[in-house]
Amino acid sequence: MKPMPTWLKIGIPILILVVVLVAALVALVTEEVPDHAQPDVLEARFGEQLAFLRELAADLPFEGCRERSREEILDHIEMLEVWQERLKVWKEKVAAGEHLFKDPVILAAEILEFCDGAQSTFQVKPYEGPESTWSPAMLSRREEWPVATLWFAGTKRQVRYDSQVEAGNSDSLIIRLILDLETL
């Protein structure tokens, strides 16, 4: 009996490994948000927190983005003190509602403003988890993301609830809750 060629001894395990890795990657990318993390369930469970975030988004101390003339810019520079006072009041409102976000399931709460391609983040509860997170949703444009998306942070799984609110002068204003899927 003739021995198996070396290229087959090496090639077959490599082929099996590649097939297993591709199957695992496909399973990971096609994984959907579980039933207990669907938007309607999250809205029912975290309704008070979402209402508070919407209220904060409506009260943002800035006027959003739009094309401004030189005179308007100079007027806005003079209004800096007014904006600082508005920001102080807004931060006091955030501090008054901190108790709403004490649930360990809530990893972060923030308001995102997208304006002329730039993003501003107003943190209500800062995110303290792993910074390197990814999601299959990243393969599509942000505007096409569903309300609840599954994210992976190392070995942990998270759900991001993003809901667009009245934007005013902004291109887009979004409230976001980042939730720990394992404890949800």
Domain boundaries, the chain: 39-180
Q: Residue 66 pLDDT > 70, yes or no?
A: no
Q: Residue 73 pLDDT > 70, yes or no?
A: no
Sort strands 133-134 and 148-153 into parallel, antiparallel or unpaired. antiparallel
| CA 172 distance to own-chain centroid | 14
CA distances from 79 to 53, 71, 151 (A): 25, 12, 40
| CA 123 distance to own-chain centroid | 12
- 52 exposed, middle or buried (CB, 10 Å; 0-12, 13-18, 19+)? buried
Q: Considering the chain, what percentage of its residues have pLDDT values greater than 70?
A: 86
For the chain, the average pLDDT equals 83
Q: Considering the chain, what percentage of its residues have pLDDT values greater than 90?
A: 35
Of 11-15, 60-64, 99-103, which gets the smallest average pLDDT? 60-64
